[in-house]
A and B are shown apart, each in its own frame.
Chain A
Amino acid sequence: MKIIVDMDRCQDHGQCVFSAPDVFRLNDEGHLEYEETADESLRDAVEEAADVCPLQAITIEG
Protein backbone atom coordinates (compact mmCIF):
# COMPACT_ATOMS: atom_id res chain seq x y z
CA MET A 1 0.00 0.00 0.00
CA LYS A 2 1.25 3.48 -0.93
CA ILE A 3 0.86 6.45 1.41
CA ILE A 4 0.75 10.05 0.26
CA VAL A 5 0.62 13.04 2.60
CA ASP A 6 -0.25 16.39 1.06
CA MET A 7 2.47 18.41 2.79
CA ASP A 8 0.81 21.69 1.76
CA ARG A 9 -2.14 20.69 3.91
CA CYS A 10 -0.36 18.91 6.78
CA GLN A 11 -0.03 21.14 9.84
CA ASP A 12 1.96 18.72 11.97
CA HIS A 13 -0.95 17.87 14.25
CA GLY A 14 0.67 14.50 14.87
CA GLN A 15 -2.65 12.64 15.30
CA CYS A 16 -1.55 10.15 12.66
CA VAL A 17 1.47 9.31 14.80
CA PHE A 18 -0.74 8.01 17.63
CA SER A 19 -2.65 5.72 15.24
CA ALA A 20 0.25 4.35 13.19
CA PRO A 21 3.57 5.02 14.91
CA ASP A 22 5.36 2.56 12.60
CA VAL A 23 4.55 4.72 9.60
CA PHE A 24 4.32 8.30 10.87
CA ARG A 25 6.53 10.20 13.31
CA LEU A 26 7.30 13.78 14.26
CA ASN A 27 10.96 14.71 14.03
CA ASP A 28 12.85 16.78 16.61
CA GLU A 29 11.54 20.01 15.08
CA GLY A 30 7.98 18.69 15.46
CA HIS A 31 7.53 18.14 11.68
CA LEU A 32 5.97 15.08 10.12
CA GLU A 33 8.09 12.33 8.57
CA TYR A 34 6.54 9.15 7.14
CA GLU A 35 7.11 5.94 5.19
CA GLU A 36 5.82 6.14 1.62
CA THR A 37 4.96 2.45 1.50
CA ALA A 38 3.69 0.16 4.23
CA ASP A 39 3.02 -3.52 4.59
CA GLU A 40 -0.57 -4.73 4.18
CA SER A 41 -0.57 -5.81 7.85
CA LEU A 42 -0.56 -2.11 8.80
CA ARG A 43 -3.66 -1.25 6.72
CA ASP A 44 -6.02 -0.84 9.69
CA ALA A 45 -3.61 1.45 11.49
CA VAL A 46 -2.94 3.54 8.37
CA GLU A 47 -6.68 3.83 7.56
CA GLU A 48 -7.21 5.01 11.12
CA ALA A 49 -4.38 7.53 10.80
CA ALA A 50 -6.00 8.91 7.64
CA ASP A 51 -9.37 9.13 9.44
CA VAL A 52 -8.02 11.11 12.38
CA CYS A 53 -5.92 13.61 10.42
CA PRO A 54 -7.64 16.96 11.16
CA LEU A 55 -6.58 18.33 7.78
CA GLN A 56 -7.52 15.15 5.87
CA ALA A 57 -4.04 15.28 4.33
CA ILE A 58 -3.39 11.53 4.09
CA THR A 59 -4.33 9.42 1.03
CA ILE A 60 -3.85 5.69 0.67
CA GLU A 61 -3.36 4.09 -2.74
CA GLY A 62 -3.58 0.38 -3.46
Chain B
Amino acid sequence: MRRIVVVGASMGGLRAAEQLRAAGFTGDLTVVGDEPHRPYNRPPLSKEVLAAEVTHEAVAFRMRASVADVDWRLGMPVVSSDLAARTLTLLDGSSLAYDGLVVATGLRARRLPQPGLEDRRHVVRTLDDAVRLRGCLVPGARVVVIGAGFVGCEVAATARTLRADVTVVCAAPEPLMSPLGPDLGAELRRRHEARGVRFLLGRTVTAFGDGGPASADVLLSDGTALGADVIIEAVGSTPCVSWLDGNGLDLSDGVLCDADLRVEGRPDVVAVGDVARFPNPRYDGVCRRVEHWSIPTDTARKAARTLLGVDSPPFAPLPSFWSDQYDLRIQSFGAPALGCDDIRVLEGDPATECAVGYHRDGELVGVVLLGLPGAIPRYRKQLMDAFTAPAPISG
Protein backbone atom coordinates (compact mmCIF):
# COMPACT_ATOMS: atom_id res chain seq x y z
CA MET B 1 0.00 0.00 0.00
CA ARG B 2 1.70 3.20 -1.18
CA ARG B 3 -0.82 5.93 -0.57
CA ILE B 4 -3.55 6.16 2.06
CA VAL B 5 -6.13 8.93 1.96
CA VAL B 6 -8.11 9.88 5.06
CA VAL B 7 -11.34 11.82 4.46
CA GLY B 8 -12.32 14.01 7.42
CA ALA B 9 -9.75 16.11 9.29
CA SER B 10 -11.08 16.02 12.82
CA MET B 11 -10.32 13.77 15.76
CA GLY B 12 -10.98 10.49 13.93
CA GLY B 13 -8.94 11.51 10.89
CA LEU B 14 -5.98 12.68 12.96
CA ARG B 15 -5.97 9.59 15.17
CA ALA B 16 -6.21 7.35 12.10
CA ALA B 17 -3.16 9.04 10.55
CA GLU B 18 -1.21 8.68 13.80
CA GLN B 19 -2.20 5.04 14.24
CA LEU B 20 -1.29 4.18 10.64
CA ARG B 21 2.22 5.48 11.39
CA ALA B 22 2.30 3.68 14.74
CA ALA B 23 1.35 0.43 13.00
CA GLY B 24 4.25 0.79 10.59
CA PHE B 25 2.88 2.55 7.50
CA THR B 26 5.66 4.58 5.85
CA GLY B 27 3.95 5.52 2.57
CA ASP B 28 2.20 8.75 1.61
CA LEU B 29 -0.60 9.99 3.88
CA THR B 30 -3.09 12.61 2.73
CA VAL B 31 -5.85 13.98 4.97
CA VAL B 32 -8.70 15.84 3.25
CA GLY B 33 -11.09 17.96 5.33
CA ASP B 34 -13.80 20.42 4.45
CA GLU B 35 -13.23 22.67 7.46
CA PRO B 36 -10.40 25.20 7.03
CA HIS B 37 -8.81 24.27 10.39
CA ARG B 38 -6.33 21.65 11.54
CA PRO B 39 -8.02 19.07 13.81
CA TYR B 40 -9.43 20.51 17.02
CA ASN B 41 -11.30 19.28 20.05
CA ARG B 42 -15.09 19.73 19.97
CA PRO B 43 -16.22 19.19 23.61
CA PRO B 44 -14.93 22.60 24.80
CA LEU B 45 -17.10 24.32 22.15
CA SER B 46 -20.24 23.93 24.24
CA LYS B 47 -18.44 24.39 27.56
CA GLU B 48 -15.44 26.38 28.78
CA VAL B 49 -14.25 27.69 25.43
CA LEU B 50 -17.66 29.12 24.64
CA ALA B 51 -17.56 31.00 27.92
CA ALA B 52 -14.01 32.26 27.35
CA GLU B 53 -12.22 33.20 24.14
CA VAL B 54 -12.99 30.96 21.18
CA THR B 55 -9.81 30.43 19.16
CA HIS B 56 -8.32 27.53 17.24
CA GLU B 57 -5.24 27.64 19.45
CA ALA B 58 -7.34 27.05 22.58
CA VAL B 59 -8.82 23.82 21.20
CA ALA B 60 -6.25 22.46 18.69
CA PHE B 61 -5.31 18.82 19.09
CA ARG B 62 -1.78 17.98 20.05
CA MET B 63 -0.34 15.97 17.15
CA ARG B 64 2.20 13.18 17.30
CA ALA B 65 5.55 13.93 15.67
CA SER B 66 4.95 10.94 13.36
CA VAL B 67 2.36 12.87 11.33
CA ALA B 68 4.55 15.89 10.60
CA ASP B 69 4.82 14.83 6.93
CA VAL B 70 1.07 14.40 6.33
CA ASP B 71 -0.29 16.26 3.30
CA TRP B 72 -3.25 18.24 4.71
CA ARG B 73 -5.85 19.32 2.14
CA LEU B 74 -8.07 21.60 4.21
CA GLY B 75 -11.10 23.66 3.29
CA MET B 76 -11.76 21.14 0.53
CA PRO B 77 -14.64 18.63 0.72
CA VAL B 78 -14.65 15.34 -1.11
CA VAL B 79 -17.83 15.41 -3.21
CA SER B 80 -17.90 11.92 -4.66
CA SER B 81 -16.04 8.65 -4.80
CA ASP B 82 -15.57 5.63 -7.02
CA LEU B 83 -14.46 2.85 -4.71
CA ALA B 84 -14.03 0.35 -7.56
CA ALA B 85 -11.60 2.68 -9.33
CA ARG B 86 -10.12 3.91 -6.01
CA THR B 87 -10.53 7.59 -6.76
CA LEU B 88 -12.08 10.55 -4.98
CA THR B 89 -13.32 13.78 -6.51
CA LEU B 90 -12.80 17.03 -4.61
CA LEU B 91 -14.95 20.17 -4.79
CA ASP B 92 -12.46 21.94 -7.07
CA GLY B 93 -12.89 19.11 -9.60
CA SER B 94 -9.50 17.54 -8.97
CA SER B 95 -9.27 13.82 -8.29
CA LEU B 96 -7.25 11.89 -5.79
CA ALA B 97 -6.24 8.23 -6.13
CA TYR B 98 -5.62 5.94 -3.17
CA ASP B 99 -4.57 2.40 -2.32
CA GLY B 100 -6.22 2.56 1.10
CA LEU B 101 -9.08 4.79 2.30
CA VAL B 102 -10.16 5.86 5.79
CA VAL B 103 -13.69 7.24 6.18
CA ALA B 104 -13.65 9.81 9.03
CA THR B 105 -16.29 12.33 7.98
CA GLY B 106 -18.24 12.32 11.26
CA LEU B 107 -21.50 14.19 11.59
CA ARG B 108 -23.01 17.55 10.87
CA ALA B 109 -25.63 19.29 12.99
CA ARG B 110 -29.26 18.62 12.09
CA ARG B 111 -31.37 21.68 11.37
CA LEU B 112 -35.07 22.19 11.90
CA PRO B 113 -37.00 22.27 8.61
CA GLN B 114 -39.12 25.35 9.44
CA PRO B 115 -37.97 28.51 7.65
CA GLY B 116 -37.47 31.94 9.20
CA LEU B 117 -35.15 33.98 11.45
CA GLU B 118 -32.05 32.41 9.86
CA ASP B 119 -29.81 35.19 11.18
CA ARG B 120 -30.70 34.35 14.80
CA ARG B 121 -30.46 30.58 14.46
CA HIS B 122 -27.34 28.71 15.49
CA VAL B 123 -25.96 25.19 15.80
CA VAL B 124 -22.89 24.05 17.76
CA ARG B 125 -20.77 21.55 15.89
CA THR B 126 -17.77 23.42 14.49
CA LEU B 127 -15.34 26.03 15.73
CA ASP B 128 -16.85 28.54 13.30
CA ASP B 129 -20.31 27.82 14.77
CA ALA B 130 -18.98 28.49 18.28
CA VAL B 131 -17.24 31.73 17.26
CA ARG B 132 -20.47 33.04 15.70
CA LEU B 133 -22.57 32.02 18.72
CA ARG B 134 -20.15 33.42 21.30
CA GLY B 135 -20.64 36.96 20.04
CA CYS B 136 -24.40 36.72 20.68
CA LEU B 137 -24.30 35.37 24.23
CA VAL B 138 -24.46 38.64 26.16
CA PRO B 139 -26.07 39.32 29.56
CA GLY B 140 -29.84 39.59 29.24
CA ALA B 141 -29.99 38.09 25.73
CA ARG B 142 -33.11 35.96 25.33
CA VAL B 143 -31.74 32.56 24.38
CA VAL B 144 -34.01 29.68 23.32
CA VAL B 145 -32.30 26.29 23.18
CA ILE B 146 -34.20 23.68 21.17
CA GLY B 147 -33.32 20.15 22.24
CA ALA B 148 -32.18 18.91 25.66
CA GLY B 149 -29.52 16.34 24.89
CA PHE B 150 -25.97 16.82 26.14
CA VAL B 151 -25.07 19.62 23.74
CA GLY B 152 -28.34 21.48 24.43
CA CYS B 153 -27.95 21.18 28.21
CA GLU B 154 -24.29 22.22 28.12
CA VAL B 155 -24.95 25.25 25.94
CA ALA B 156 -27.86 26.21 28.20
CA ALA B 157 -25.57 26.03 31.25
CA THR B 158 -22.86 28.07 29.51
CA ALA B 159 -25.31 30.72 28.26
CA ARG B 160 -26.78 30.99 31.77
CA THR B 161 -23.31 31.35 33.27
CA LEU B 162 -22.84 34.27 30.85
CA ARG B 163 -26.05 35.74 32.37
CA ALA B 164 -28.30 35.23 29.38
CA ASP B 165 -32.02 34.60 29.91
CA VAL B 166 -32.30 30.90 28.93
CA THR B 167 -35.30 28.75 27.95
CA VAL B 168 -34.90 25.10 26.88
CA VAL B 169 -37.60 23.51 24.70
CA CYS B 170 -37.70 19.76 24.24
CA ALA B 171 -40.08 17.08 22.99
CA ALA B 172 -39.30 14.54 25.72
CA PRO B 173 -40.79 14.77 29.24
CA GLU B 174 -37.35 15.35 30.81
CA PRO B 175 -33.97 16.56 29.53
CA LEU B 176 -31.35 13.89 28.74
CA MET B 177 -34.16 11.36 28.93
CA SER B 178 -33.01 8.81 26.38
CA PRO B 179 -29.43 8.36 27.53
CA LEU B 180 -29.99 8.72 31.29
CA GLY B 181 -33.61 7.84 32.11
CA PRO B 182 -36.33 10.00 33.70
CA ASP B 183 -35.01 10.20 37.27
CA LEU B 184 -31.53 11.50 36.51
CA GLY B 185 -33.02 13.70 33.78
CA ALA B 186 -35.36 15.29 36.35
CA GLU B 187 -32.49 15.73 38.78
CA LEU B 188 -30.40 17.55 36.17
CA ARG B 189 -33.38 19.70 35.24
CA ARG B 190 -33.75 20.76 38.89
CA ARG B 191 -30.10 21.80 38.95
CA HIS B 192 -30.56 23.91 35.84
CA GLU B 193 -33.77 25.42 37.24
CA ALA B 194 -31.99 26.35 40.47
CA ARG B 195 -29.65 28.47 38.30
CA GLY B 196 -32.57 30.15 36.57
CA VAL B 197 -32.97 28.13 33.35
CA ARG B 198 -36.59 27.62 32.27
CA PHE B 199 -37.74 24.31 30.71
CA LEU B 200 -40.71 23.84 28.35
CA LEU B 201 -40.96 20.07 28.08
CA GLY B 202 -43.09 17.77 25.93
CA ARG B 203 -43.32 20.45 23.23
CA THR B 204 -41.94 20.90 19.75
CA VAL B 205 -41.29 23.93 17.55
CA THR B 206 -43.93 24.48 14.88
CA ALA B 207 -42.76 27.76 13.31
CA PHE B 208 -40.41 30.71 13.56
CA GLY B 209 -41.68 34.31 13.46
CA ASP B 210 -41.03 37.06 10.93
CA GLY B 211 -38.62 39.06 13.07
CA GLY B 212 -40.93 42.08 13.48
CA PRO B 213 -40.64 44.13 16.72
CA ALA B 214 -43.54 42.40 18.50
CA SER B 215 -42.98 39.07 16.82
CA ALA B 216 -43.53 35.70 18.39
CA ASP B 217 -40.11 34.39 17.42
CA VAL B 218 -40.49 30.73 18.33
CA LEU B 219 -43.93 29.08 18.18
CA LEU B 220 -44.49 25.82 20.03
CA SER B 221 -46.91 22.93 19.52
CA ASP B 222 -48.99 23.90 22.59
CA GLY B 223 -49.48 27.46 21.35
CA THR B 224 -46.73 29.04 23.48
CA ALA B 225 -44.94 31.91 21.74
CA LEU B 226 -41.44 32.92 22.82
CA GLY B 227 -39.38 36.01 22.10
CA ALA B 228 -35.81 35.13 21.17
CA ASP B 229 -32.63 37.05 20.34
CA VAL B 230 -30.66 33.83 19.93
CA ILE B 231 -32.07 30.44 18.87
CA ILE B 232 -29.85 27.39 19.31
CA GLU B 233 -30.86 24.23 17.46
CA ALA B 234 -29.43 21.29 19.41
CA VAL B 235 -31.52 18.57 17.81
CA GLY B 236 -28.89 15.97 17.02
CA SER B 237 -26.75 15.31 14.02
CA THR B 238 -26.61 13.47 10.70
CA PRO B 239 -23.71 11.38 9.34
CA CYS B 240 -21.73 12.96 6.46
CA VAL B 241 -21.86 10.12 3.91
CA SER B 242 -23.25 11.62 0.69
CA TRP B 243 -19.74 11.55 -0.86
CA LEU B 244 -19.94 7.73 -0.68
CA ASP B 245 -23.21 7.51 -2.63
CA GLY B 246 -23.31 5.29 -5.68
CA ASN B 247 -20.94 2.60 -4.41
CA GLY B 248 -23.60 0.16 -3.22
CA LEU B 249 -22.81 0.69 0.49
CA ASP B 250 -25.33 0.59 3.34
CA LEU B 251 -25.38 4.29 4.31
CA SER B 252 -28.70 4.21 6.17
CA ASP B 253 -27.06 5.37 9.42
CA GLY B 254 -23.40 6.23 8.94
CA VAL B 255 -21.29 3.62 7.16
CA LEU B 256 -21.78 -0.03 7.97
CA CYS B 257 -18.60 -1.84 9.08
CA ASP B 258 -17.64 -5.34 10.14
CA ALA B 259 -16.14 -6.20 13.52
CA ASP B 260 -12.70 -5.08 12.27
CA LEU B 261 -14.05 -1.70 11.05
CA ARG B 262 -13.70 -2.68 7.40
CA VAL B 263 -16.41 -1.06 5.30
CA GLU B 264 -18.48 -3.99 4.17
CA GLY B 265 -17.15 -5.82 1.16
CA ARG B 266 -14.16 -3.48 0.76
CA PRO B 267 -10.77 -4.76 1.92
CA ASP B 268 -9.18 -1.36 1.18
CA VAL B 269 -11.66 0.88 3.05
CA VAL B 270 -12.12 1.31 6.83
CA ALA B 271 -14.17 3.76 8.90
CA VAL B 272 -13.51 5.49 12.25
CA GLY B 273 -15.24 7.79 14.72
CA ASP B 274 -18.82 9.05 14.85
CA VAL B 275 -19.61 7.96 11.28
CA ALA B 276 -18.72 4.27 11.75
CA ARG B 277 -21.52 1.81 12.51
CA PHE B 278 -19.92 -1.29 13.98
CA PRO B 279 -20.75 -4.28 16.20
CA ASN B 280 -19.37 -4.39 19.76
CA PRO B 281 -19.10 -7.98 21.04
CA ARG B 282 -19.05 -6.53 24.56
CA TYR B 283 -22.83 -6.12 24.17
CA ASP B 284 -24.20 -8.04 21.17
CA GLY B 285 -23.86 -8.32 17.41
CA VAL B 286 -25.92 -5.22 16.61
CA CYS B 287 -24.08 -2.53 14.60
CA ARG B 288 -24.36 0.92 16.15
CA ARG B 289 -22.79 4.33 15.78
CA VAL B 290 -21.37 5.73 19.02
CA GLU B 291 -21.06 9.52 19.32
CA HIS B 292 -18.54 9.56 22.17
CA TRP B 293 -15.19 11.24 22.33
CA SER B 294 -13.44 7.97 23.24
CA ILE B 295 -14.53 6.27 20.01
CA PRO B 296 -12.39 8.05 17.37
CA THR B 297 -9.24 7.04 19.26
CA ASP B 298 -10.36 3.44 19.87
CA THR B 299 -11.63 2.88 16.34
CA ALA B 300 -8.53 4.48 14.78
CA ARG B 301 -6.24 2.07 16.58
CA LYS B 302 -8.15 -0.96 15.28
CA ALA B 303 -9.00 0.36 11.80
CA ALA B 304 -5.38 1.32 11.01
CA ARG B 305 -4.24 -2.25 11.71
CA THR B 306 -7.12 -3.74 9.72
CA LEU B 307 -6.24 -1.61 6.70
CA LEU B 308 -2.55 -2.56 6.90
CA GLY B 309 -3.25 -6.23 7.60
CA VAL B 310 -1.46 -6.08 10.97
CA ASP B 311 -2.76 -8.45 13.70
CA SER B 312 -4.59 -6.81 16.58
CA PRO B 313 -6.85 -7.95 19.43
CA PRO B 314 -10.61 -8.29 18.81
CA PHE B 315 -12.34 -4.92 18.95
CA ALA B 316 -14.62 -4.47 21.97
CA PRO B 317 -14.22 -0.91 23.25
CA LEU B 318 -15.72 0.32 26.53
CA PRO B 319 -17.46 3.54 25.49
CA SER B 320 -16.99 6.48 27.85
CA PHE B 321 -18.46 9.92 27.86
CA TRP B 322 -18.44 12.96 30.07
CA SER B 323 -20.39 16.20 30.29
CA ASP B 324 -19.79 19.34 32.34
CA GLN B 325 -22.76 21.45 33.38
CA TYR B 326 -22.04 24.26 35.89
CA ASP B 327 -19.80 22.70 38.54
CA LEU B 328 -21.17 19.19 37.97
CA ARG B 329 -19.30 16.54 36.03
CA ILE B 330 -21.38 13.70 34.59
CA GLN B 331 -19.32 10.68 33.61
CA SER B 332 -20.62 7.65 31.76
CA PHE B 333 -19.00 4.27 31.14
CA GLY B 334 -20.36 1.41 29.07
CA ALA B 335 -23.75 1.57 27.34
CA PRO B 336 -26.40 3.00 29.71
CA ALA B 337 -28.86 3.28 26.80
CA LEU B 338 -29.01 -0.54 26.61
CA GLY B 339 -30.00 -0.82 30.26
CA CYS B 340 -32.67 1.86 30.60
CA ASP B 341 -35.40 -0.58 31.72
CA ASP B 342 -33.56 -1.43 34.92
CA ILE B 343 -31.89 1.59 36.51
CA ARG B 344 -30.64 1.41 40.11
CA VAL B 345 -28.81 3.88 42.34
CA LEU B 346 -25.60 2.03 43.26
CA GLU B 347 -24.32 4.51 45.84
CA GLY B 348 -24.78 8.10 46.99
CA ASP B 349 -27.77 10.39 46.59
CA PRO B 350 -28.94 11.77 43.22
CA ALA B 351 -29.62 15.16 44.88
CA THR B 352 -25.88 15.52 45.59
CA GLU B 353 -23.44 12.98 44.13
CA CYS B 354 -24.21 9.42 43.07
CA ALA B 355 -23.45 6.38 40.92
CA VAL B 356 -26.31 4.92 38.89
CA GLY B 357 -26.23 1.46 37.28
CA TYR B 358 -28.00 0.46 34.05
CA HIS B 359 -28.81 -3.25 33.69
CA ARG B 360 -29.85 -5.54 30.86
CA ASP B 361 -31.18 -8.98 31.87
CA GLY B 362 -29.91 -8.26 35.36
CA GLU B 363 -26.39 -7.59 34.16
CA LEU B 364 -24.64 -4.24 34.61
CA VAL B 365 -24.05 -2.69 31.15
CA GLY B 366 -23.45 0.97 32.01
CA VAL B 367 -22.68 3.29 34.92
CA VAL B 368 -23.32 7.02 35.13
CA LEU B 369 -21.70 9.10 37.85
CA LEU B 370 -22.89 12.50 38.98
CA GLY B 371 -19.76 13.82 40.67
CA LEU B 372 -18.06 11.10 42.77
CA PRO B 373 -14.74 11.33 40.87
CA GLY B 374 -13.09 8.95 43.34
CA ALA B 375 -15.41 6.12 42.22
CA ILE B 376 -14.40 6.23 38.54
CA PRO B 377 -11.59 3.63 38.59
CA ARG B 378 -13.72 1.16 40.52
CA TYR B 379 -16.76 1.24 38.21
CA ARG B 380 -14.65 1.41 35.10
CA LYS B 381 -12.80 -1.71 36.18
CA GLN B 382 -16.02 -3.51 37.06
CA LEU B 383 -17.40 -2.86 33.56
CA MET B 384 -14.10 -3.75 31.87
CA ASP B 385 -13.92 -7.05 33.77
CA ALA B 386 -17.55 -7.92 32.99
CA PHE B 387 -16.45 -8.90 29.47
CA THR B 388 -13.65 -11.13 28.23
CA ALA B 389 -13.11 -10.99 24.51
CA PRO B 390 -13.45 -14.35 22.79
CA ALA B 391 -10.22 -15.72 21.35
CA PRO B 392 -9.93 -14.80 17.67
CA ILE B 393 -10.98 -17.58 15.34
CA SER B 394 -7.89 -18.76 13.51
CA GLY B 395 -7.77 -20.03 9.96
Contact = CB atoms under 8 A, between A and B. Distances in A.
Nearest to A59: B62
Interface string B53-71: 0000001111010000000
Contact of B322 (A13, A47, A59): A13
Contacts of A56: 41, 59-62
A14 B377 contact: yes
B64 A18 contact: no
A22 B339 CA distance: 34
Given A18-B380, A30-B373, A30-B374, A51 B293 contact: no
Contact of A54 (B60, B62, B293, B373): B293
A44 B18 CA distance: 12
Interface residues of A, number: 18
Q: Range of interface residues on chain B?
A: 20 to 34
Contacts of A10: none
A55 B60 CA distance: 10
A14 B62 CA distance: 18
Contacts of B377: 14, 17-18
Nearest to B19: A51
B302 interface: no
Contacts of B322: 13, 54
Nearest to A13: B322
B293 to A, nearest CB: 7
Nearest to B318: A18
B376 interface: yes
B376 A14 contact: yes
Interface string B366-395: 000000011011001000000000000000
Contacts of A58: 62
A45 interface: no
B281 interface: no
Interface in A15-62: 17-18, 26, 30, 44, 47, 50-52, 54-56, 58-59
A20 B322 CA distance: 20
A59 B60 CA distance: 13
Nearest to A52: B297
A15 B377 CA distance: 10
9 contacts: A17-B377, A18-B377, A18-B380, A26-B373, A30-B374, A44-B22, A51-B15, A54-B322, A56-B59
Given A14-B377, A17-B377, A30-B374, 16 more contacts: A12-B373, A13-B322, A14-B373, A14-B376, A18-B377, A44-B22, A50-B62, A51-B15, A52-B294, A52-B297, A54-B41, A54-B43, A54-B322, A56-B61, A56-B62, A58-B62
Rank and list the top 7 A-B pairs by shortest CB-CB distance, nearest first.
A30-B373, A56-B62, A30-B374, A51-B297, A56-B41, A50-B62, A14-B376
